[in-house]
Structure 1
Amino acid sequence: MAELANDHSVTRDGWIRCIRAASDFEDAVHAILNEAWIPNTLPQLTASLIRITDNIRKTRADADFTRDLALGGAPDTWFCVYMALNFERLLEMQREVLMDTVIKLTPRARWAN
């Protein structure tokens, strides 16, 4: 962020976008670390998995679109691409945690087949 703040090719609007992206990411990580977000019933877990998988798809599409726009762009545009990829990784981690929880909550007899 310090390099972006001192880069003369980064516009004021670009700098604001970078600050917002970093702040949104910090808020998401804070929520994951400090809030109870893992459902404890299979129907709730299923709904959460569907929602997170959809968010991963949307984030991937946005990151791909932004990456295409960033070719030859200013460093702030690349920073936003980087942040989108970090959000994707965070969502992937959430999906893994939810899948582990599904395995723990599903009765063993259902895994026999």
Structure 2
Amino acid sequence: MAVTRIIANLKAPDPMALAQFYKQVFDLDLPFDMGWIAFLTTDMTQKIELHTASQGGSGTDLPVISIGVDDLDATEAAVRAAGAEVVYGPVKETWGLRRFYFRDPAGNLVNVVDS
């Protein structure tokens, strides 16, 4: 048996509005919308990871999702321009990652990491 993908499901009172936020900030495609669920995709190949944790590191709350990006500063600017609140960082952690957290419009805590 081989895992072929792992999908994050973010709870939102208005899934399409939240999908539009992520589409705008992370330049994702929105190929599917059923009203109660919207799919966001990219053509990029990704490796599969599933993390288990008791906290988010450095004494932070555990985010619901982590998103790796190639330009952390540009992503932070896009998050702020979209009206989301950056609640932690950007910071270079002692274990080497550079990251920040934000709250999306539905209140989800999201970790963005320079990959």
TM-score, normalised relative to structure 2? 0.27
Task: Determine which structure has the larger helix proportion and give its number.
Answer: 1
Task: Determine which structure has the larger strand proportion and give its number.
Answer: 2
